[in-house]
Amino acid sequence: MLLHLEGVAARYGQFQALRDVSLSVERGETLAVVGSNGAGKTTLMRVISGALAASEGMVRLDGADTAGMGAHRMNAAGVAMVPEGRRLFRSLTVEDNLRIGAYAGRKGPWNLPRIYQLFPELVKRRHNRGMDLSGGEQQMVAIGRALMSNPQLLAMDEISLGLAPIVVNQIYRALPAIAAEGMGILIVEQDVNRGLSVAARFCCLMEGRVSLSGPAAGVDRKALTDAYFGVSA
Ligand code: ATP
Protein backbone atom coordinates (compact mmCIF):
# COMPACT_ATOMS: atom_id res chain seq x y z
CA MET A 1 0.00 0.00 0.00
CA LEU A 2 1.37 3.40 -0.98
CA LEU A 3 -0.48 5.53 1.56
CA HIS A 4 -2.26 4.18 4.59
CA LEU A 5 -3.91 6.15 7.39
CA GLU A 6 -5.15 4.34 10.47
CA GLY A 7 -7.21 6.03 13.17
CA VAL A 8 -5.83 9.50 12.42
CA ALA A 9 -6.87 12.46 14.55
CA ALA A 10 -5.71 16.06 14.16
CA ARG A 11 -6.20 19.15 16.30
CA TYR A 12 -5.89 22.89 16.14
CA GLY A 13 -5.36 23.56 19.83
CA GLN A 14 -8.51 22.39 21.63
CA PHE A 15 -10.44 21.94 18.39
CA GLN A 16 -10.43 18.43 16.95
CA ALA A 17 -10.61 18.73 13.16
CA LEU A 18 -10.13 15.02 12.31
CA ARG A 19 -11.06 11.92 14.28
CA ASP A 20 -10.48 8.25 13.62
CA VAL A 21 -9.77 8.67 9.89
CA SER A 22 -8.63 5.51 8.12
CA LEU A 23 -8.06 5.36 4.39
CA SER A 24 -5.59 4.06 1.85
CA VAL A 25 -4.36 4.79 -1.67
CA GLU A 26 -2.60 2.25 -3.82
CA ARG A 27 -0.15 2.96 -6.60
CA GLY A 28 -1.98 3.79 -9.80
CA GLU A 29 -5.20 4.45 -7.92
CA THR A 30 -7.18 7.68 -7.58
CA LEU A 31 -9.07 8.30 -4.36
CA ALA A 32 -11.53 11.20 -4.17
CA VAL A 33 -12.00 12.83 -0.79
CA VAL A 34 -15.28 14.70 -0.77
CA GLY A 35 -17.08 16.68 1.90
CA SER A 36 -18.70 20.03 2.55
CA ASN A 37 -17.11 23.23 3.83
CA GLY A 38 -15.20 22.65 7.03
CA ALA A 39 -15.50 18.84 6.88
CA GLY A 40 -11.75 18.50 7.37
CA LYS A 41 -10.51 17.91 3.83
CA THR A 42 -7.71 20.47 3.90
CA THR A 43 -6.69 19.33 7.36
CA LEU A 44 -6.41 15.80 6.01
CA MET A 45 -4.18 17.06 3.20
CA ARG A 46 -2.02 18.89 5.71
CA VAL A 47 -1.58 15.71 7.76
CA ILE A 48 -0.69 13.67 4.67
CA SER A 49 1.81 16.29 3.50
CA GLY A 50 3.48 16.41 6.90
CA ALA A 51 2.53 20.07 7.45
CA LEU A 52 0.39 19.12 10.46
CA ALA A 53 1.24 16.26 12.82
CA ALA A 54 -1.49 13.72 13.58
CA SER A 55 -2.38 13.84 17.27
CA GLU A 56 -3.41 10.18 17.17
CA GLY A 57 -3.10 7.31 14.74
CA MET A 58 -0.62 6.46 12.04
CA VAL A 59 0.28 7.70 8.55
CA ARG A 60 2.30 5.17 6.57
CA LEU A 61 3.99 5.82 3.24
CA ASP A 62 5.13 2.68 1.47
CA GLY A 63 4.70 0.83 4.74
CA ALA A 64 6.92 3.19 6.76
CA ASP A 65 5.64 5.30 9.65
CA THR A 66 5.98 8.98 8.72
CA ALA A 67 5.58 10.39 12.24
CA GLY A 68 7.75 13.46 12.76
CA MET A 69 8.91 13.68 9.15
CA GLY A 70 7.52 17.14 8.39
CA ALA A 71 6.57 18.56 5.00
CA HIS A 72 10.08 18.82 3.60
CA ARG A 73 11.00 15.19 4.18
CA MET A 74 7.58 13.98 3.07
CA ASN A 75 8.12 15.81 -0.20
CA ALA A 76 11.55 14.25 -0.62
CA ALA A 77 9.93 10.85 0.07
CA GLY A 78 7.56 11.42 -2.85
CA VAL A 79 4.48 13.19 -1.53
CA ALA A 80 3.56 16.25 -3.61
CA MET A 81 0.77 18.69 -2.87
CA VAL A 82 -1.25 20.96 -5.06
CA PRO A 83 -2.42 23.27 -2.30
CA GLU A 84 -5.76 25.01 -2.12
CA GLY A 85 -5.27 28.49 -3.56
CA ARG A 86 -2.35 27.29 -5.72
CA ARG A 87 0.34 29.37 -3.95
CA LEU A 88 2.62 30.13 -6.86
CA PHE A 89 5.59 32.46 -6.55
CA ARG A 90 3.91 35.47 -8.07
CA SER A 91 7.06 37.29 -9.15
CA LEU A 92 8.66 34.20 -10.76
CA THR A 93 7.96 33.02 -14.28
CA VAL A 94 5.93 29.94 -15.13
CA GLU A 95 9.11 28.08 -15.98
CA ASP A 96 10.86 29.02 -12.74
CA ASN A 97 7.79 28.02 -10.72
CA LEU A 98 7.88 24.64 -12.47
CA ARG A 99 11.62 24.19 -11.93
CA ILE A 100 11.21 24.80 -8.20
CA GLY A 101 9.09 21.65 -8.05
CA ALA A 102 12.11 19.60 -9.07
CA TYR A 103 14.41 20.80 -6.30
CA ALA A 104 14.24 17.51 -4.37
CA GLY A 105 15.90 15.86 -7.37
CA ARG A 106 13.72 12.78 -7.54
CA LYS A 107 14.02 10.85 -10.80
CA GLY A 108 10.99 10.00 -12.90
CA PRO A 109 8.98 10.64 -16.04
CA TRP A 110 8.11 14.28 -15.39
CA ASN A 111 10.20 17.16 -16.73
CA LEU A 112 9.51 20.52 -18.40
CA PRO A 113 8.70 19.11 -21.88
CA ARG A 114 6.25 16.61 -20.39
CA ILE A 115 4.50 19.35 -18.40
CA TYR A 116 4.16 21.49 -21.53
CA GLN A 117 2.82 18.48 -23.38
CA LEU A 118 0.26 17.93 -20.62
CA PHE A 119 -0.75 21.61 -20.53
CA PRO A 120 0.01 23.10 -23.99
CA GLU A 121 -1.68 26.32 -22.79
CA LEU A 122 1.43 27.02 -20.71
CA VAL A 123 3.90 27.00 -23.59
CA LYS A 124 3.18 30.55 -24.72
CA ARG A 125 3.09 31.68 -21.08
CA ARG A 126 6.40 30.14 -20.03
CA HIS A 127 8.13 33.50 -19.50
CA ASN A 128 5.14 35.21 -17.89
CA ARG A 129 5.14 35.75 -14.17
CA GLY A 130 2.78 33.95 -11.79
CA MET A 131 0.86 37.12 -11.04
CA ASP A 132 0.06 37.65 -14.75
CA LEU A 133 -1.66 34.30 -15.24
CA SER A 134 -5.37 33.49 -15.22
CA GLY A 135 -6.68 31.29 -12.41
CA GLY A 136 -6.78 28.27 -14.71
CA GLU A 137 -3.21 28.81 -15.88
CA GLN A 138 -2.09 29.17 -12.28
CA GLN A 139 -3.76 25.88 -11.44
CA MET A 140 -1.97 24.17 -14.34
CA VAL A 141 1.35 25.52 -13.09
CA ALA A 142 0.56 24.36 -9.55
CA ILE A 143 -0.16 20.84 -10.81
CA GLY A 144 2.89 20.94 -13.07
CA ARG A 145 5.10 22.08 -10.21
CA ALA A 146 3.91 19.16 -8.07
CA LEU A 147 4.54 16.70 -10.93
CA MET A 148 8.05 18.07 -11.45
CA SER A 149 8.99 16.48 -8.11
CA ASN A 150 8.15 13.08 -9.64
CA PRO A 151 5.96 12.10 -6.70
CA GLN A 152 4.72 8.68 -5.69
CA LEU A 153 1.61 10.34 -4.31
CA LEU A 154 0.02 13.44 -5.80
CA ALA A 155 -2.47 15.14 -3.49
CA MET A 156 -4.63 17.90 -4.97
CA ASP A 157 -6.78 20.21 -2.89
CA GLU A 158 -9.90 21.62 -4.59
CA ILE A 159 -8.35 22.23 -7.99
CA SER A 160 -11.70 23.35 -9.42
CA LEU A 161 -12.28 26.05 -6.80
CA GLY A 162 -13.04 29.46 -8.29
CA LEU A 163 -12.51 28.37 -11.90
CA ALA A 164 -14.97 28.54 -14.77
CA PRO A 165 -16.44 25.12 -15.72
CA ILE A 166 -14.74 25.17 -19.12
CA VAL A 167 -11.35 25.66 -17.43
CA VAL A 168 -12.10 22.95 -14.89
CA ASN A 169 -12.85 20.61 -17.81
CA GLN A 170 -9.50 21.48 -19.36
CA ILE A 171 -7.69 20.61 -16.13
CA TYR A 172 -9.67 17.44 -15.47
CA ARG A 173 -8.90 16.26 -18.99
CA ALA A 174 -5.23 16.09 -18.00
CA LEU A 175 -5.81 13.82 -15.02
CA PRO A 176 -5.98 10.46 -16.84
CA ALA A 177 -2.56 11.12 -18.40
CA ILE A 178 -1.18 11.81 -14.93
CA ALA A 179 -2.78 8.71 -13.44
CA ALA A 180 -1.39 6.63 -16.32
CA GLU A 181 2.12 7.17 -14.94
CA GLY A 182 1.17 4.92 -12.05
CA MET A 183 1.38 7.24 -9.06
CA GLY A 184 -1.27 7.31 -6.37
CA ILE A 185 -3.59 10.28 -6.58
CA LEU A 186 -5.66 11.79 -3.83
CA ILE A 187 -8.08 14.40 -5.03
CA VAL A 188 -10.02 16.60 -2.65
CA GLU A 189 -13.23 18.03 -4.09
CA GLN A 190 -16.26 19.88 -2.80
CA ASP A 191 -17.82 19.04 -6.16
CA VAL A 192 -18.75 15.39 -5.64
CA ASN A 193 -19.48 14.64 -9.30
CA ARG A 194 -16.09 15.97 -10.40
CA GLY A 195 -14.34 13.94 -7.75
CA LEU A 196 -16.21 10.72 -8.47
CA SER A 197 -15.72 11.11 -12.23
CA VAL A 198 -11.97 10.52 -11.99
CA ALA A 199 -11.70 8.24 -8.96
CA ALA A 200 -12.02 4.50 -8.47
CA ARG A 201 -12.90 4.96 -4.82
CA PHE A 202 -14.14 7.81 -2.67
CA CYS A 203 -14.11 8.77 0.94
CA CYS A 204 -16.63 11.29 2.31
CA LEU A 205 -15.76 13.37 5.36
CA MET A 206 -18.25 15.00 7.66
CA GLU A 207 -17.24 16.92 10.78
CA GLY A 208 -13.80 15.39 10.68
CA ARG A 209 -14.92 11.76 10.41
CA VAL A 210 -15.22 9.37 7.48
CA SER A 211 -18.99 9.28 7.00
CA LEU A 212 -18.98 6.99 3.94
CA SER A 213 -16.42 5.33 1.68
CA GLY A 214 -16.43 2.82 -1.13
CA PRO A 215 -16.17 2.36 -4.91
CA ALA A 216 -17.06 5.47 -6.92
CA ALA A 217 -18.94 3.54 -9.59
CA GLY A 218 -22.54 2.83 -8.69
CA VAL A 219 -22.44 4.77 -5.44
CA ASP A 220 -25.79 5.08 -3.67
CA ARG A 221 -26.56 8.79 -4.20
CA LYS A 222 -28.99 9.02 -1.31
CA ALA A 223 -26.45 7.51 1.09
CA LEU A 224 -23.78 9.86 -0.24
CA THR A 225 -26.01 12.91 0.16
CA ASP A 226 -26.67 11.89 3.76
CA ALA A 227 -22.97 11.31 4.37
CA TYR A 228 -22.11 14.69 2.83
CA PHE A 229 -24.73 16.88 4.50
CA GLY A 230 -25.53 14.75 7.53
CA VAL A 231 -29.27 14.97 6.95
CA SER A 232 -31.78 13.17 4.80
CA ALA A 233 -32.36 15.21 1.66
P1 ATP B 1 -13.05 23.92 2.99
O2 ATP B 1 -13.78 23.24 1.90
O3 ATP B 1 -13.76 25.12 3.50
O4 ATP B 1 -11.61 24.15 2.72
P5 ATP B 1 -12.31 21.66 4.60
O6 ATP B 1 -13.14 20.45 4.49
O7 ATP B 1 -11.03 21.71 3.86
O8 ATP B 1 -13.17 22.92 4.24
P9 ATP B 1 -10.72 22.26 6.89
O10 ATP B 1 -10.12 23.48 6.31
O11 ATP B 1 -9.87 21.06 7.04
O12 ATP B 1 -12.05 21.88 6.15
O13 ATP B 1 -11.29 22.68 8.32
C14 ATP B 1 -11.84 21.72 9.22
C15 ATP B 1 -12.23 22.43 10.51
O16 ATP B 1 -11.06 22.90 11.16
C17 ATP B 1 -13.12 23.65 10.29
O18 ATP B 1 -14.07 23.68 11.35
C19 ATP B 1 -12.17 24.80 10.42
O20 ATP B 1 -12.83 25.95 10.93
C21 ATP B 1 -11.13 24.29 11.39
N22 ATP B 1 -9.81 24.86 11.13
C23 ATP B 1 -9.12 24.84 9.97
N24 ATP B 1 -7.93 25.43 10.09
C25 ATP B 1 -7.85 25.86 11.37
C26 ATP B 1 -6.85 26.56 12.13
N27 ATP B 1 -5.68 26.92 11.58
N28 ATP B 1 -7.13 26.82 13.43
C29 ATP B 1 -8.30 26.45 13.98
N30 ATP B 1 -9.29 25.79 13.34
C31 ATP B 1 -9.06 25.49 12.04
pLDDT of 232 > 70? The answer is: no
pTM of the model: 0.93
Query: Residue 11 in 3-state DSSP?
Result: strand
Confidence of residue 184 (pLDDT cuts 50, 70, 90): very high
pLDDT tens track for 151-179: 999 999 999 888 889 889 989 988 888 98
Ligand 1, pocket-test mutation among 8, 11, 12, 44, most atoms within 8 A of CB: 12
Q: Rounded distance, CA 175 to CA 140, Å?
A: 11
Q: Is the CB of 17 under 6 A from ligand 1?
A: yes
| CA of 18, closest atom in ligand 1 | 14
**Ligand 1 centre and the CA of 118: distance in Å?**
32
Work out the mean pLDDT of the chain and round it to a whole number: 92
Q: Is the CB of 78 under 6 A from ligand 1?
A: no
**Ligand 1 centre and the CA of 38: distance in Å?**
5
**Can you list the alpha helix ranges (DSSP code H) found in 11-93?**
41-49, 70-76
Q: Is the CB of 16 under 6 A from ligand 1?
A: no
- At 233 the pLDDT is 44
pLDDT tens track for 61-106: 999 999 989 999 999 999 999 988 778 888 889 999 999 988 887 8
β strands within the chain, DSSP E: 3-12, 15-25, 30-34, 56-61, 64-65, 79-82, 153-157, 184-189, 201-206, 209-215
**Ligand 1 centre and the CA of 11: distance in Å?**
10
